[in-house]
Amino acid sequence: DQGGGRGVLRTTQSADERAMLTQVASRLTCRAGARCMSAYAGGPIKVAVLGAAGGIGQPLSLLCKLSDHIDEVACYDVVGTPGVAADLSHIPSGAKITGDLPSAGTWPPSHNAGLERALTGASVVVIPAGVPRKPGMTRDDLFNTNASIVKTLVEGCAKFCPDAVLAIISNPVNSTVPIAAEVLKKAGVYNKNKVVGVTTLDVCRANTFLAEKLGKSPKDINVPVIGGHAGITILPLLSQVPGASALPADVTAALTHRIQFGGDEVVQAKAGSGSATLSMAYAGFLFTEGLIKAMKGEEVIQCAYVESTLTPAAYFASPCKFGPEGVKEVLGFGTLSAYEKQWFDKMVPDLQKQIAKGIDFVNSPA
């Protein structure tokens, strides 16, 4: 045990403790821009976390283990997942936990049996795998390493769980989502409703930062955030939040910049030791549980980066209605203020370039 002491051994739990374990995670889903209406449909749910031993993957797997909407959490990474799974298995919650590594080499050569075990039967695959940013790096600087990782993992998804919804966290999301789509197209199993980029952290930041300025609780704020998930492609529509239009122009500009570059704030504060892992794990869990609630019959609306016809960009983040089969409807984003329209016009060409980079990575000759 960590922390230097074991404390007092107890073999039973109070009712309050049991309730906390089963509710602490699931009660959060309708925050951070997800709006839910209850119509429970039931059914077992397996979530595979690819990159489960990393800075995002470990806390994300923990939150999934605590959720009473998830029946099994399959942890997969290139190192450390048996230990992560063993640790999580001691938590007295209902979800089964497994941990797999890439299978050892065989002769004749065979597929990755560890990845197969993690993915088989998965309803949702969450992909936070990859390297984190360091000070001075942009999300796009991660492209060469993370693009290959995502491509390989999604090839596994195409083989072992072609009907799962893929929730992609690995940066640069603006490019890795198109990479995933192209891989699935090549395999003949692409479904635009089941490939989504997780932009929920942008919504979390927008709600938190705006609430501070308005003197309100973040749970009472719902900022639509559209575009992409990198720098100026992140566009929070502050004008659509009651009370925000009264903010001075310089405050609106500062808030917009902080939301767009909130990740840099964390990277710099961690001084080379990592990026936004805990808040991203929280946001990734909110999004994942929103997906699951929609699969079980609830009506859930949350922002996501998906194939879209709303703008000239082939992929675009906007509010989406989710259902049993993933994205049920890509919703519009309403009227933009003059300030937001300026950012929109700057953002779309950048987003298109990042999308094209991902598509070319899969389709261009090596």
Measured CA to CA, the distance from residue 165 to residue 157 in angstroms comes to 10
Measured CA to CA, the distance from residue 255 to residue 245 in angstroms comes to 12
Residues β-bridged to residue 49: 75, 126
Give the CA distances from residue 155 to residues 97, 143, 203, 291, in Å, rounded to whole numbers and listed in that order.
23, 18, 30, 22
Q: Determine the Cα angle at 289 with ends 284 and 293, to 5°.
A: 150
Residue 104: DSSP 8-state: P
Length of the chain: 366
- Measured in whole angstroms, how far is the alpha carbon of residue 229 from the centre of its chain? 11
Told to judge if 111 belongs to the known catalytic residues of this protein, a careful annotator would answer no
Assign 184 to helix, strand or coil.
helix
- What are residue 304's phi and psi, to 5 degrees? -160, 155
CB within 8 A of 289, min separation 6: which ones?
25, 26, 28, 29, 67, 69, 70
User: Which listed residue (69, 90, 111, 229) is catalytic?
Assistant: 229
Q: Is the Cβ–Cβ distance between 264 and 230 less than 8 Å? A: no
Measured CA to CA, the distance from residue 24 to residue 43 in angstroms comes to 21
Give the CA distances from residue 257 to residues 7, 80, 209, 247, 277, in Å, rounded to whole numbers and listed in that order.
46, 37, 11, 15, 20
Q: Tell me which residues are annotated as active site.
A: 229
